[in-house]
Amino acid sequence: MNDQAEVLRLKAERTRADELTCNRTHRSRETIIAVGSGKGGVGKSNIALNLALELSWRGRSTCLIDADLGMGNSTILAGVTPRYTLGHLLRDGKRIEEIITQGPLNLGIIAGANGLKELANLSNEDRIRLSRAISGFAGKWDYCVIDSGAGISENVLTFMEKADQCLVVATPEPTSMADAFGLIKVLSERRCRARISVVVNRADSVKEARNVAERLSGLSIQFLNQTVDWAGFLFEDSAVQKSVVKRSPFSAFNRNSRAAQSISRIADCVEKGIEISDIGEDSIGNKFKGWLERLFCDG
């Protein structure tokens, strides 16, 4: 971190604020996790689906909500064919409970609608209706993972603001990092109450992943006074592309893969509310080193 003391101070302040914030008291644990990014195509849908599968595999009742309205593709990645989508909720008045598709490992999936222009540009009224439906529904699950879509449109921000944790996905490309910072900036300006964490995707090395996370975290503290944690990373890995082509998500069907292990670490951070560096070099160095070495040497 650029300014570790400042980060720790802000974290302590945030914990105190969380304890005092009444709108958190209805929920005893963090359940809604929104996955967003500034730039498109950085791996959100794969990370959201596989994180949801990992949580489901751990025995947590989990639902993936594909809120990438207009261009949702989670069910394609999950290898299932939905009977209903969010389009049926918004246009045909179906209840959210009626449109769940059963995914692998008992994962519930609310399928996004693909190619529906009016869903990509929801009216305020529909957006509020959908967001309320999701809030009520989320309380019935241990975790709801929302694939929020890319960018900073009102659709995306509405879902990210509903969340308890926002995972902002960035790759090491400068354009992706700049857009990730743009998303963090808007969330911060809108006083998003969620914990914001970065997930670095497609890294060539741990060092590269850490650099991306530290730069985003440092800039956020320096310019926004916003703490941003590091929830983990995935390597550039052809196994991810293969799982997309096979419609066979790695956290369900290739659990020993390096990508699945990386997702498992992200799930640890999400579940325990800690940063990857908190379970890392400084605290339990050797254990973490062992894990990093395994990631390097494996596959």
45, 85, 101, 262: residue in contact with Mg ion (rule CB under 5 A): 45
| String of DSSP letters for 19-43 | HH-GGGTT-SS--EEEEEESSTTSS
Q: Report how far residue 99's alpha carbon sits from residue 121's, in angstroms, rounded to the nearest whole number.
A: 21
Rule CB under 6 A: which of 177-216 touch ligand ATP? 201-202
Q: Which of the listed partners (ligand ATP, Mg ion, none) does 37 bind, with a CB threshold of 5 to 8 Å by partner kind?
A: ligand ATP
| String of DSSP letters for 155-183 | HHHHHHHH-SEEEEEE-SSHHHHHHHHHH
User: Are 168 and 37 spatial neighbours (Cβ–Cβ below 8 Å)?
Assistant: yes
HEC per residue, 86-151? HHHHHHHCCCHHHHEEECHHHCEEECCCECCHHHHCCCHHHHHHHHHHHHHHHCCCCEEEEEEEEC
234, 263, 269, 295: residue in contact with ligand ATP (rule CB under 6 A): 234
* Only segment of 42-50, 80-88, 128-136, 276-284 that touches ligand ATP (CB under 6 A): 42-50
Residue 109 binds ligand ATP, judged by CB under 6 A: no
Q: Which of the listed partners (ligand ATP, Mg ion, none) does 241 bind, with a CB threshold of 5 to 8 Å by partner kind?
A: ligand ATP
64, 110, 111, 150: residue in contact with ligand ATP (rule CB under 6 A): 150
* Only segment of 36-44, 234-242, 255-263, 265-273 that touches Mg ion (CB under 5 A): 36-44
Nearer to ligand ATP, 61 or 211 (CB): 211
Query: What sign does the CA torsion over 47, 283, 295, 260 have?
Result: negative
Nearer to ligand ATP, 131 or 153 (CB): 153
Q: How far is the CB of 125 from ligand ATP (least distance, A)?
A: 25
| List of residues contacting ligand ATP (CB under 6 A) | 37, 40-46, 68, 150, 201-202, 234, 236-237, 240-241, 244
